[in-house]
Amino acid sequence: MSIQEEGFLSPDISQFIREHRENSEAAFSLAGALNRTAQHLLLTSEAPVDGDGLNATNIAQLLFVRALSNFQGAILMAERGAVVEARTLARTCLETVFALASAVSMQDGFIDRIVANEMGSKSKGANWLLNQPEQTIKIEPAAHSELKSFVDRLKQEAEPTGSFATEEMARNGGLDGLYVLFRQLSSDAAHPLLEALNRYVDDGQGGLRAEILWGPACGADEIEDTVTMACCFLLVGAVTLNMACPAVGVGDQLGAHFDTYKSLPSSASARGKS
């Protein structure tokens, strides 16, 4: 079945993968090498677990697992030409790296904040459900009672609640210079705003009317830039985790990856903001 019939799920996508990788060979080469180093760091970095449970460094390791998975997803999407999806996953990777850096920087203070953030989110969700008209959302009596008990317990125990905004995590982790890229990727890919939707529209310069653009050739000119940004985000996350719980030899490898990253023409935009 063709691209027109099955889109990105078509077996024919393999020809676009080859083409996109050839056209952005240097960026994809860095992505592959960095990914192998990150996988090694993931499997060999060690941080002791406290007797009371996970500490901030353990949380940072878990965040690195998520960041690496986001990165790999971004590369899989980019090589297929699914640029909007690749940039959305790159944004998620960056957000996770903000949290990782904040965890390493704040230590116990980070755990307090994310616990309060989670309790605040759950409290808001529970209160929202409890306040919905029955004709909008019907909640079974047992579930209603459980939600009410949860909200009452938070109040009685004065459980800390609050929010922990992405921008604050970036600032706490010393990565506020990269936050502008998070905002950029939010508007041009992750959120269904006009800027993102405009990616699917031909401006009509070659004809009388605008036409919808879609598929692996749409936005192909941004593949290299997207892969390079994703590499930047994972590189920052890997360096941060390796500082907190070093793995033998990884520091030198990351230094070499950074030199390669700086040599890529498409790295200039991210370097200017980091």
Q: Which two tokens stand for residue 201?
A: 């529209």
Does some domain include residue 142?
no
Residues 153-183: pLDDT tens digits? 888 877 777 889 999 999 999 999 999 999 9
Does some domain include residue 100?
yes
* Number of compact structural domains in the chain: 1
Does some domain include residue 195?
yes
Distance CA 8, CA 141 (A): 44
Q: Which residues contact 207 (CB under 8 A, 6 or more apart)?
A: none
Q: Which of 63-77, 154-168, 184-198, 239-253 has the lowest mean pLDDT?
A: 154-168
Does some domain include residue 85?
yes
Quick one: residue 161, left, alpha or beta (phi over 0 = left, psi -120 to 50 = alpha)? Answer: beta
pTM of the full structure: 0.89
Does some domain include residue 42?
yes
Beta bridge partners of 53: 50
Does some domain include residue 128?
no
Residues 106-123: pLDDT tens digits? 998 999 998 888 888 888
Containing structural domain, residue 73: 15-108+171-271
Residue type, 219: G
Radius of gyration of the chain (CA): 22
Mean pLDDT of 80-100: 97
Alpha carbon 67 to its chain's center: 6
Instruction: Report which DSSP code applies to 51.
Output: T
